[in-house]
Amino acid sequence: MAEETIFTKIINGEIPSDIVYKDELVTAFKDISPKAEHHILIVTNKPIPTVSDVEPCDEQMLGHLFIIARKIATDLGIEKSGYRLIVNCGPDGGQEVPHIHMHFLAGGKLGGLGFPQKQ
Ligand code: AMP
Ligand 1 proximity of 24 Cβ (cutoff 6 Å) = no
State if residue 86 touches ligand 1 by the CB under 6 angstroms criterion.
Answer: no
Per-residue pLDDT at 119? 64
Bridge partners, residue 86, by sequence? 103
- With a CB cutoff of 8 Å and minimum separation 6, the contacts of 2 are 47, 48, 49, 53, 98, 99
Residue-wise over 71-97: b if at least 16 C-beta within 10 A, else e? ebbeebebeeeebeeeebeeeeeebee
- Contact criterion met (CB below 8 Å) for 52 and 89: yes
User: How high is the pLDDT of residue 1?
Assistant: 64
* Residue 103 is a catalytic residue: no
**pLDDT score, position 4:** 86
Q: Where are the domains of the chain?
A: 6-106
Sequence letter at residue 30:
K
**Is the CB–ligand 1 distance for residue 96 below 6 Å?**
yes
Ligand 1 centroid–CA 34 distance in Å is 9
Q: Of all atoms in ligand 1, which is nearest to the CA of residue 99? A: 4
pLDDT tens per residue, the chain (119 residues)?
Answer: 678 899 999 999 999 999 999 999 999 999 999 999 999 999 999 999 999 999 999 999 999 999 999 999 999 999 999 999 999 999 999 999 999 999 999 998 998 887 877 76
pTM score: 0.96
Q: Which CATH architecture has domain 6-106?
A: 2-Layer Sandwich (3.30)
| pLDDT at residue 81, rounded to an integer | 96
Task: Specify the pLDDT at position 116.
Answer: 77
Instruction: State the Cα–Cα distance between residues 14 and 6, nearest whole angstrom.
Output: 9
